[in-house]
Amino acid sequence: MARSTGPVPIRRDPFGRATLMRQKVDDGACAWCGSRGRRWEYWWHGDMSSAKVLPAPQAFCGISCHRMYYGG
């Protein structure tokens, strides 16, 4: 997916030692609802590594679709 802006931290989990990151994407549809409006890529970034904690990130129209997709 093409990226248009840099990642932005949106939530911190101090006990899990990870930060929920968000980055705007230019193409694709929401993985949960199929919307083609504004889309974001979300992932958890751990403190101790530079790798993304979740599997390959998907594009979502908002955090609520991200939560529903991952069952939370």
The alpha-helical segments, DSSP class H, found in the chain are 63-69
pLDDT value of position 3 = 47
Q: Residue 1 falls within a domain, yes or no? A: no
Distance CA(5)–CA(27), nearest Å, equals 13
Q: Residue 39 falls within a domain, yes or no? A: yes
Distance CA(8)–CA(22), nearest Å, equals 5
pLDDT category at 58 given cuts 50, 70, 90 is confident
Tally the domains of the chain.
Answer: 1
Q: Residue 50 falls within a domain, yes or no? A: yes
Q: Residue 2 falls within a domain, yes or no? A: no
Q: Residue 3 falls within a domain, yes or no? A: no
Q: Report the candidate in 21, 51, 25, 55 with the shortest Cα–Cα distance to residue 37.
A: 25
Range of the domain at 34: 8-69
Task: Enter the pTM of the model.
Answer: 0.66
Q: Residue 65 falls within a domain, yes or no? A: yes
> Is 57 a residue whose pLDDT tops 50?
yes
- Give SS3 for 34: coil
